[in-house]
Chains A and B, each alone.
Chain A
């Protein structure tokens, strides 16, 4: 039995005021007093809300009801992936073409005009490396059908001498002997920032690079001139095609004295770029004075 006073409050107009007073108290009650129980009050009514949401989904299907496994969705996703691939392909193709253009420009600038050379050039992609080692031969997708002949100089990155076309020239594919596999390369060493035009080029230290078998070269330089790490080795070897003259081939990575020869120093040179790391290469085909084509003289 409720006390008489409470019963008195729960009748008629007094009940309304009692409820309003309770509502006002709860309205301004702190969160810590409400949190333990008010959210629980909602729990029994949650299923009722599903009625509204299911009706809404009937009227206007929501994104959540979108079936990702439907055939239309799978087909659209496949289409998107194809378009994405085409887009990336075109971007990569543009990058490759830009590299080719840069390479051809660099080659023609260097070999044409004042060089008095009658040269042709063809571009090729590096399609394979030597699976037996990182410093083996590489294959390019240009062959005799493209005018490639054995001994032609191969450049990457525009002006970096990467090697020579070997005797293994197919109709559509050729093998390139990397510069690190050549028996030796005659070169001169120039400062990385370029040589002083006021000084004769003959004073630039000369060196004969010999492969170390580790993908680098070594050379003994007998020169009183300054030799420092970072200097660039440029081809001056008369045995190589004329188009290779002046091309960059490597960069000094170590300089050490030779005890037996106080005025000489031993240097180690690493390739600036290797053919196996390049995407494309330029093969320069020189026409000899006798009308034929060929490589090293």
Chain B
């Protein structure tokens, strides 16, 4: 896989999420493009680099989603989404053998699984951070359960948006430089008999 393409795609997706976010928002539920990009890589790239690619996506997400502190200032915390995306990717990798990748719905389902696990990871890390530092959780004054529900609904929205994003990403597959390990076994069919 070409890392330059991946990083460019991740940055572009994060930038679009940061800019276009309001367009894909219904109430507090917000669909994002970045999870689809990460899942696309997680389903297509070699397994050994999936975790790293997901962490790169998480880093981009952390960069473009700074935490708002109690004094109103913004602070970039590069970490929570890195861990969250790694958890999401770890949940998606086992699905590679189960999903029929030509079916767009299966890709969308993978995005939902990824986003749900990433949300769970992010909420967990946020709780740990607030417990360690004695600071407020990012979703204060809402409850953690309420935030989890919102994130799960957002995961569903990510899946819906993923239908479109996967359609676009599938068409850019050649420029990603994914390694193909499909073995062509010789046989009668190949011999034209």
Give A residues with C-beta under 8 Å from B: 12-13, 15-16, 19-20, 23-31, 34-35, 38-39, 41-42, 45, 48-56, 59-60
Contacts and interface: CB of A to CB of B under 8 A. Distances in A.
Residue from B66, B79, B82, B128 having most chain A Cβ neighbours under 10 A: B79
B95 interface: no
A52 B15 contact: yes
B78 interface: yes
Contacts of B35: none
A48 B80 contact: no
Contacts of B78: 23, 26, 38, 41
A29 B132 CA distance: 9
Judged by DSSP, the binding face of B is: helix
Given A34-B77, A41-B78, A52-B18, A27 B125 contact: yes
Contacts of A60: 22-23
Given A39-B74, A41-B76, A55 B20 contact: yes
23 contacts: A15-B52, A16-B51, A20-B82, A20-B83, A20-B86, A23-B58, A23-B82, A27-B77, A28-B129, A28-B132, A29-B77, A30-B133, A31-B133, A35-B75, A38-B76, A45-B64, A49-B19, A52-B16, A52-B17, A54-B19, A56-B22, A56-B23, A59-B20
Nearest to A26: B79
Nearest to B70: A31
Given A35-B75, A41-B78, 12 more contacts: A13-B48, A19-B82, A20-B86, A26-B79, A27-B83, A27-B125, A28-B129, A34-B77, A45-B60, A51-B12, A52-B16, A59-B23
Contact of B76 (A39, A48, A52): A39
A24 B51 contact: no
A38 B129 contact: no
Interface string B50-80: 0110010010100110100100001111111
Nearest to A38: B76
A205 B20 CA distance: 86
Contacts of B19: 49-56
Contacts of B18: 49, 52-53
A38 B63 CA distance: 9
Contacts of A38: 75-78
B108 to A, nearest CB: 22
Contacts of A54: 19
A42 B14 CA distance: 12
Interface residues of B, number: 37
A45 B63 contact: yes
B11 interface: yes
A198 to B, nearest CB: 71
A20, A34, A52 — most chain B CB neighbours (10 Å): A52
Contacts of B16: 51-52, 55
How would you classify the secondary structure of chain A's contact residues: helix, strand, loop or mixed?
helix
A51 B125 CA distance: 30
A17 B132 CA distance: 22
Contact of A51 (B15, B23, B63): B15
Contacts of B83: 20, 23-24, 27
A25 B16 CA distance: 29
A23 B133 contact: no
Interface in B16-39: 16-20, 22-23
Interface in B112-143: 125, 128-129, 132-133, 135
List of 7 A-B pairs having minimum Cβ-Cβ separation, nearest first: A52-B19, A27-B79, A23-B82, A26-B79, A53-B19, A38-B76, A48-B15
A55 B128 CA distance: 37
Contacts of A12: 48
B69 to A, nearest CB: 7
A31 B132 CA distance: 12
Residue with the highest number of chain A CB atoms closer than 10 Å, among B48, B77, B129: B77
Given A16-B52, A49-B18, A26 B77 contact: yes
A31 B55 CA distance: 22
Contacts of A51: 12, 15-16, 19
B79 to A, nearest CB: 3
B79 A24 contact: yes
A55 B17 CA distance: 11
Nearest to B19: A52
Contacts of A13: 48
A18 to B, nearest CB: 11
A25 B128 CA distance: 11
Contacts of B64: 42, 45, 49
